[in-house]
Amino acid sequence: MGLFSRQESEDQVVNRLAKNAGNMVAMFKHTFTTPKGIDATQALIFTSSLAGHACRQAVIAEHGKFMEVTCNDGRKFYFGDDLNYYLLESQTSVVGFINAVTGIPVDTVKAIVRKFAESIGEEHFTVCGYDPKKLYEDVSQCWDGIFENMTSKYCKEPSEWPILFSIVVQNILMMSLNAGAPVNDAAKIAVECAVGVAKMSKESFI
């Protein structure tokens, strides 16, 4: 899982992806700009959700393994080491990029992960207060819409998809913090959305 080309180090991969991530950041800035300026919170929720979705898509593309959890009502969610590698554990994980600009404590991340695992069986669980089905559908639609022209164009292999979107999230995070968003709140939003959406598919909603 997540092996890079022998011609490139992880730093070189990140630097290469960062050159194109700016195009995506600009797109999301435009998408979430209102007459009063950019809605940084909405941009952060959406891009961090996309980063989580990218983790799941990378595992699928690489024929990795999931631990499937089926709720009593038939909804399915996905866990496992392969997913956690991109989401939480690798040197270029989504949470790693979030931590780099927020310093979010490991215990806080663990609490968010645990809270989601405990709440998925509930009838009306939310992700940062949002309807998870609507969030997942919007994210999935966006993923499909930009895959050919951006994601697959900028990345050499699926293992780079989560990194690309993590760079985008990091940039949106820095914009949020520069606009005065509380660092702890912004970090928790980013982690909760990434962790939550990473574990979803269309089978998570019936």
The answer to whether the beta carbons of residues 17 and 157 sit under 8 Å apart is no
- Cβ neighbours around 82 below 10 Å, total: 22
pLDDT of residue 124: 80
User: Which tens digits make up the pLDDT trace of 138-192?
Assistant: 999 999 999 999 999 999 999 999 999 999 999 999 999 988 889 999 999 999 9
Q: Do residues 201 and 120 touch, judged by C-beta distance below 8 A? A: no
CB contact at 8 A, 173 and 51? no
N- to C-terminal Cα separation, the chain: 31
For the stretch 14-28, pLDDT in tens is 999 999 999 999 999
Global pTM value = 0.93
Q: Which pair of structure tokens corresponds to residue 120? A: 């998925």
Q: What is the pLDDT of residue 9?
A: 86
Domain range annotation of the chain: 48-204
Q: Which two tokens stand for residue 96?
A: 């790693």
Residue with more model confidence, 37 or 89: 89
The answer on pLDDT for 6 being more than 70 is no
> Over the stretch 101-147, which tens digit does the pLDDT of each residue have?
999 999 999 999 999 888 876 878 889 988 999 999 999 999 999 99
Annotate 11-46 with b (16+ C-beta within 10 A) or e (fewer). eebbebbbeebeebbeebeeebeeeeebebbebbbb
